[in-house]
Structure 1
Amino acid sequence: MRAEKLMPSISRSDLVRQRRSQRSTQHVTKTRQAASYPARSQPVIMRSDIFNAAQPIQTNSRSRVKRQFYYSLGASGAELRLPALPFFNAGGRFISAMIAVFAALAIYALGFSAQFQISDITIDGISRLTAGDIQAVVNVQGEQIVTFDPQAAQTALKKAFPDLGSVKVQVGLPAKVRIQVDELQPAVAWNGGDTVYWIDANGVILPPRGEPGELLTIGADGQPPLLPLAEVDAAAASSSADGALAVVAAAPAEIWGRQVDPEILKRMIDLQKMIPPDSKLVYNSLNGLGWEDPHGWDVYIGRDLTDFDLKLSMYTAIITNLEQQGIFPQDMISVEFINAPFYR
């Protein structure tokens, strides 16, 4: 009761005035805070009539994100914060520039580095040829692998060596060159007097090289009859007498790689099986195919094996008749024409 008497009595009007005073004070405080922290203004938009697009005049700057790393110091739970590192975002231009730099370095290395210089060549498939023969044509020692032309090397080898059936040139990094060849093998030795020509089973004339092994020997009066070249007119090729292939007088090296008529070779091989074992095959550009009789004269049957049995019987009868008369041919006997055989 005494405490209530000590408190001054406050009228209702005084309470109303106190509340109004508090509201005014709060309003002033909010105004000061708004003045110290102005509101963020929105970017001004410029509208273009041409492109009908809105673009901001100013853009808000973005702070780069920094990555923070924390390193644990053990079971105590303490952590050490390492210096923050900025996040690096590689753009398209940077990546393109790096690719261009690496490409330039690679091109320089391929063109000038000793690692890409050809120092050795691997050669497979040679038997009569030597590695020195091949390397003399494909001289690429010290050449950069990027400047080596496999197609040009293949063409040069085929031109230099007619006895190569196939040539394959392969290139590998850093400086590998592999040459794989297939040599044609001689089957016939065509003895044209002063010169011997090697011929494979398909009629290709090969240069004599190395050890050929056992060959079928044919004695002839000159070079083997050649097939006409592609540029020779067909009419001129067919105008030779009796359809015979013309014998071209040329140096041996000039006909290397040319082809003899395969039919003639086939007939000669077949004739070898029909004649006496001790006889040798012969060929004459005028009288055709034949063999050398053991008595020393040549026997000719023409350019093919038509009626061979009949011609052989006629030859036997002629020899018997001549021996009875004590006549021996000095050079040859021809039974090419059954109705008109002759000897001399």
Structure 2
Amino acid sequence: MTRYNQTVSRAEFVRQRRTSRTPNRSAAKKPAAPAVRRVSSTASLFLPVEPRVDPRRRQARAGSGSRQRYDSVFTVSKTRVRTPGITIPQFNTRWVSALLTAALLFLLYTLWTSSTFIVTGAEITGNQRLGTDEIFASLHLSGRPIFAAVPAEMEAGLRAAYPDLSAASVRVAFPNRVIVEVIERTPILAWYQNGAMGWIDANGVAFPPRGAADGLINVVASGTPPQVPDEALPVYAQAYVPPEMVQTLAALYPYVPAGVPMIYDPQYGMGWQDPRGWQVFFGHTTDDIALKVQTYQSIVDALAREGRQPSLISLAYLDAPFFK
């Protein structure tokens, strides 16, 4: 039986049958049947058809021997085929950042622990009374890497630890060099108060004595001099004695008898302890100091003629001297 490779819908098949039967219906002259609405089905009718054969396959079949080969074509729907998963790392910016971070951490660890960068000493200049080892110990840098050195902090630490330093400069250099330059204060006064002694420089800053210093003016104080804190200066640079008072004491010192200490009283000012047994004061300034000294000598001569022994003579005010 012959098969045809055609697909005919049911509507076309019915239409063909009607066409073949139309002459018989006309001859019988039958009344027309009422129109009936037919609804075609969406189903398809598959008729047997003869499969197509490619001409090339025919030639191949004709020329072949007893064995024949048939090629069949099948429609395969889309099917998901899962293959074995192989994870391949993709190097993006995060990978690069992670590698750079790891390399940086390794470099920092190497630099921090390498003996090449460990500080073992310092190059210190300008110190006269302070010892080199003492200054280096105050840096708190021995055995630490050079990267831990902060010059500004070390300078402030030196000034706070040693008020006798008027200036300090710290520099660092690779691989492990620390250069320290200091300037020590020059003492002018040896200030005695409440059983303790400290040195005073020209700016009035007090600091502990170290070693020996020549030419100091010894001052015995019965009280603390007036102080006006300078908010622009740190604590270690604040003046204990006003700089003007230091200048006054230095100007009055040449009139002091040899071997006699100078004295200071918050009320009467500056003077000295006379070897003859009394105290003399000239106020808080050096105004008319030469005339005051001359007046003092006149008062002493007058008291000696009268045979009187004073305990205190004050010439703070030249126009109103007094004794008691």
Q: TM-score if structure 1 supplies the norm length?
A: 0.58
Question: Residue 179 of structure 1 aligns with which residue?
Answer: 180
Asked if 1 retains the 8 angstrom alpha-carbon contact of 2:151 and 2:170, the reply is yes
Give CA deviations for 1:40-99 in whole Å, capped at 9, x if unaligned: xxxxxxxxxxxxxxxxxxxxxxxxxxxxxxxxxxxxxxxxxxxxxxxxxxxxxxxx99xx
Q: In structure 2, do the counterparts of structure 1 residues 149 and 313 end up closer, same or farther at CA, with 3 Å as the change threshold?
A: closer
Residue 90 of structure 1 corresponds to none
Tell me the C-alpha RMSD between the 2 structures: 2.9
The SS at the match of 1:118 is: coil
Taking the TM superposition and a 5 Å limit, the aligned residue runs for 1:44-193 are: 107-193=108-194
Q: CA separation of 1:140/1:332 partners in 2, compared to 1, >3 Å: closer, same or farther?
A: same
SS for the counterpart of 2:281 is: strand
Q: Does 1:340 align with 2:315?
A: no
Q: What residue in structure 1 maps to residue 222 of structure 2?
A: 221
Look up the match of 1:319.
Answer: 300
Q: Report the CA distance between 1:215 and its aligned residue.
A: 0.9
Q: Secondary structure at the match of 2:282?
A: strand
Identity %: 32
Structure 1 spans left out of the alignment, 5+ residues: 1-95, 232-254
What is the identity, as a one-letter code, of the residue corresponding to 1:161? Y
Residue 255 of structure 2 aligns to a residue in which SS? coil
Q: Is the 8 A contact 1:226 1:258 kept in 2?
A: no
Displacement after TM superposition at 1:170 (Å): 1.3
How far 1:311 moved relative to its partner?
2.5
Deviation at 1:194, TM superposition (A): 0.6
Quote how far apart the aligned CAs of 1:198 are: 0.4
The number of aligned residues is: 225
Deviation at 1:286, TM superposition (A): 0.5
Which deviations, in whole Å up to 9, do the C-alpha atoms of 1:174-206 show, x marking residues without a partner?
A: 111122211112111112241112001222111
- Give the aligned partner of residue 241 of structure 1: none
By percentage of residues, which structure has more strand?
A: 1
Q: Secondary structure at the match of 2:152?
A: helix
| Cα distance in 2 between the residues matched to 1:142 and 1:278 | 51
Aligned pair 1:268/2:249, yes or no? yes
> Secondary structure at the residue paired with 1:338?
coil
Residue 277 and residue 296 in structure 1: after superposition, are their counterparts in 2 closer, same or farther (change >3 A)? same
Matched to 1:326, the amino acid is G
**Structure 2 partner of 1:302:** 283
SS state at 1:186 partner: coil
Secondary structure of 1:270's counterpart equals helix
**Which residue is equivalent to 1:291?**
272
SS in 2 for 1:302: coil
3-state SS in 1 of match to 2:287: coil
CA distance, structure 2, for counterparts of residue 336 and residue 327 of structure 1: 21
Please, what TM-score do these two structures have when normalized by structure 2?
0.61
Q: Is the 8 A contact 2:252 2:289 kept in 1?
A: no
Residue 279 of structure 1 deviates from its aligned partner by: 4.4
Offset at residue 292 of structure 1 (A): 2.3
8 Å CA contact 1:165–1:184 kept in 2: the answer is: yes
Which residues in structure 2 correspond to 1:236-251 (within 5 Å)? none
Residues 290, 300 of structure 1: 8 Å contact kept:
yes
CA contact under 8 A between 1:163 and 1:257: conserved in structure 2?
Answer: no
Counterpart amino acid of residue 282 in structure 1: I
Q: What is the one-letter code of the residue matched to 2:166?
A: G
AA aligned opposite 1:258: Q
Alpha-carbon displacement from aligned partner over 1:245-297 (angstroms, at most 9, x marks no partner): xxxxxxxxxx8643121111111111112344454322111101212223121
Structure 1 residues 102 and 274: alpha-carbon distance in aligned structure 2, compared to 1, 3 A threshold: same
**Long gaps (5+) in structure 2:** 1-95
Q: 1:279 to 1:147 in 2, by over 3 A?
A: closer
Q: Indicate the SS of the match to 1:154.
A: helix
